[in-house]
Structure 1
Amino acid sequence: MMIRRASKEDVNILSELSFRSKAYWGYSDEFMKACREDLKVTEEDISTSHVYVLEVHREIVAFYRLVYEMEDAELSNFFVDPVGIGKGYGKYVWHHLIETAKRLGIEKFLIHSDPYAEGFYKKMGAIRIGEVQSTVFPDRKLPLMQAMVKS
């Protein structure tokens, strides 16, 4: 296993991984089609935020995107390929995320969580602090979570 900084050449792979990971939870085709644009990772995302990928046997199996501006930090993406769910990849990447946040001087960050991912984030120590409106479906509420970065 190796974690490295994402490059602009990774955008299509990361976008598809995001889509597969979201679809894993059994969402309808209509729902997934509506989410496709939101799940897209762009070259700008990679150049303006902290995006890291986990490679196993030279294949990207997970990634995260941490957005940090001034004093505000948000975990914008955190996805594990369905073939890697349950293999410890998420926990491994989470620990790298926390180390990245420490290096940047981040004390806490927000997570707009998918309802199915809330349990994972809770296991990693994040807490639910409220709800936020979905950017895709206005009537859908998502868990708003916060993770503290311990030094």
Structure 2
Amino acid sequence: MAPNLPGQEGRYARSGSRTERQRPVPARRRSPRLRHNGRVRFLIRPARPDEATELTELALRSKGHWGYDTEFLARCRTELTLTPADVTARHVAVAERDGRVVGLVVLASTPPELELDMLFVDPPAIGTGAGRVLFDHAVAASRAAGARTLWIEADPGAEAFYRHVGAVLTGTCVSPSTGRTLPRLRYDL
């Protein structure tokens, strides 16, 4: 099993865009912790390699929430695909509610600057706080790994969420899969 960022290990917590695949930052294991947003409880735990296909489909459903057509989503598939090897080698954590995966987060790069490579919430769980729990997890794990900055290449539909949690727009970038201009945000840790 791949090393995980500190805080990524199975724990309960309360309530992107991929650039290049990079090696994870080693971490230590922790026991599960209960956290919630006052309404819903989520278990944050490392993803398992056998969940790669399920996580890919969740990411595509989440991307589709923003009204993209099937042709657009097909162009995004490669960028949003996680393989068992990715899950083993990268920092991939999931949010579970009632034993069902409702979201995922992937961190990439190495400190002092990390990339929020993916953060997706299954459409039925949008608005429950799962995205905030996953973002808070990414922030805690990044800090524990020694990072000072978390970079985010966001879907335009998710920009407001990232600004709400404190990220600052720094410019734009071009999506490698679609050629669209995306907001690039920075979250100082």
TM-score range, shorter chain: over 0.9
2:145 corresponds, among 100, 104, 115, to: 104
Shift of 1:120: 0.4
Q: Could you give the per-residue CA deviations for residues 99-136 of structure 1, whole angstroms, max 9, x where no partner exists?
A: 11111011111111100000000011001101101111
Shift of 1:70: 5.0
Moved more, 115-124 or 91-100: 91-100
Corresponding residue of 2:182:
142
Cα RMSD between the aligned structures? 1.2
Q: Give the TM-score of the pair, scaled to structure 1.
A: 0.93
User: Any conservation in 2 of the 1:76–1:111 contact (CA below 8 Å)?
Assistant: yes
Q: Does 1:18 align with 2:59?
A: yes
| Residue-pair matches, total | 148
Q: Which of structures 1 and 2 has the larger relative contact order (alpha carbons within 8 angstroms, sep 6+)?
A: 2
Gaps of 5+ in 1: none
Structure 2 residue identity aligned to 1:82: P
User: Any conservation in 1 of the 2:111–2:147 contact (CA below 8 Å)?
Assistant: no
Q: Give the TM-score of the pair, scaled to structure 2.
A: 0.75
SS of the equivalent of 1:65 reads strand
Q: Distance in 2 between matches of 1:6 and 1:134?
A: 25
Runs of 4+, deviation exceeding 6 Å? none
Q: Distance in 1 between matches of 2:168 and 2:85?
A: 29
Q: Does 1:73 align with 2:114?
A: yes
Q: Does 1:45 align with 2:101?
A: no
Q: Could you give the per-residue CA deviations for residues 62-85 of structure 1, whole angstroms, max 9, x where no partner exists?
A: 110001325431010000000000
Structure number with higher helix proportion: 1
